[in-house]
């Protein structure tokens, strides 16, 4: 049927599977990218990831220096060590980028994420949700007779664990900020 006997879709990461990366393992890295807060800067960063076939696990951005109009983008990405190196070099090449820090290498780093989680329910389930929230140090930021909104901060894995536990108790909505990260010490 396929006269040339070609394998379709030989590569999933990129259209051009030129690099022989067989055996190379996939790593997760957290990058902190300082940029000029100018129009379109986020589109540039996202476009770079999309255009070159890199992964984005999480991305957060906010202006951190209002006077200097600089924003900090925290991006969690995955790839082989060679791909991670390329991602950093490609980011560094963008004109509005000041610097790129690989917190996974420069670490140890603190990573935090915030989530707002709405749980609906009554009776025993409601009490149980409160109890779990207590253990995870989640705060109630809104409550009605039928629902709570919890606010929880922590490493992404902690938020994952919390949502696993409250999902069966009536979790109906969740909003997560994505990761903000910073190195420990000086």
Partner 1 sequence: MKTQMTGADIVIQALKDQGVDTVFGYPGGAMLPIYDAIFQQNDIRHILVRHEQGATHAAEGYARSTGKPGVVMVTSGPGVTNTVTGMTDALLDSIPMIVLSAQVPTPMIGTDAFQEADTVGITRPCTKHNWLVKDTDELAATIHKAFHVATSGRPGPVLVDIPKDVQFAEGRYETPQKADLGHYKPQLKGDIAAITELAEMIERAKRPIIYSGGGVINSGPAASMLLRELAEATNIPVTSTLMGLGAYPAKGKHWLGMLGMHGMYEANMAMHDCDLMINIGARFDDRITGRIDAFSPESKKVHIDIDPSSVNKIIRVDLPIIGDVGHVIEALLKIWKSRGRKTQEAAIGKWWSQIDEWRAVKCLNYTPSSSVIKPQYAMERLEALTKTHNRYVTTEVGQHQMWAAQFLGFNDPNRWMTSGGLGTMGYGLPASVGVQIAHPDALVINVAGEASFLMNMQEMGTAIQYRLPVKQFIVNNERLGMVRQWQDLLHGSRHSHSWSESLPDFVKMAEAFGAKGIRCSDPDKLDDAIQEMLDFDGPVIFDCRVEKHENCFPMIPSGKPHNEMLLGDDSTENAIDAAGATLV
Contact footprint for partner 1 (CB under 8 A) = 3-7, 10, 16, 18-20, 36, 39-40, 43-44, 47, 51, 82, 85-86, 89-90, 92-96, 98
Q: Which residues contact 44 (CB under 8 A, 6 or more apart)?
A: 94, 96
Asked if 48 and 91 touch (Cβ cutoff 8 Å), the reply is: yes
Q: Choose between 94 and 149: whose C-beta lies nearer to partner 1.
A: 94
H/E stretch holding 17 reads none
H/E stretch holding 90 reads helix 81-93
Minimum distance of partner 1 from residue 18's CB (angstroms): 6
Minimum distance of partner 1 from residue 30's CB (angstroms): 20
Say how far apart CA 101 and CA 183 lie, in whole Å: 10
Q: Choose between 23 and 123: whose C-beta lies nearer to partner 1.
A: 23
Q: Choose between 35 and 171: whose C-beta lies nearer to partner 1.
A: 35
The token pair at 70 is: 């600089």
Which is nearest to 117 in space by CA: 76, 87, 159?
159
Q: Choose between 82 and 127: whose C-beta lies nearer to partner 1.
A: 82
Minimum distance of partner 1 from residue 78's CB (angstroms): 18
Give the angle 76-82-83 at the CA atoms, nearest 5°. 45
Q: Choose between 55 and 163: whose C-beta lies nearer to partner 1.
A: 55
């Amino acid at each position: 049927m396929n006269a040339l006997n070609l394998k379709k879709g030989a590569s999933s990461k990129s259209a051009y599977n030129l690099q022989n990366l067989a055996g190379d393992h996939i790593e997760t890295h957290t990058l902190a990218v300082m940029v000029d807060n100018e129009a379109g800067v986020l589109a540039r960063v996202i476009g770079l990831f999309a255009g070159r076939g890199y992964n984005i696990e999480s991305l957060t951005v906010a202006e951190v220096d209002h006077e200097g109009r600089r924003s900090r983008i925290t991006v969690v990405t995955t790839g082989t060590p060679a791909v991670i190196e390329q991602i950093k070099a490609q980011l560094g090449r963008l004109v509005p980028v000041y610097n790129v820090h690989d917190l996974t290498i420069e670490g140890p780093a603190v990573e935090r994420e915030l989530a707002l989680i709405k749980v609906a329910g009554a009776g025993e389930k409601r009490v149980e949700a409160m109890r779990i929230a207590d253990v995870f140090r989640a705060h109630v930021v809104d409550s009605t007779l039928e629902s709570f909104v919890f606010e929880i901060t922590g490493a992404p894995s902690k938020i994952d664990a919390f949502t696993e536990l409250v999902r069966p108790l009536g979790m109906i909505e969740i909003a997560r900020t994505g990761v903000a990260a910073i190195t420990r010490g000086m």
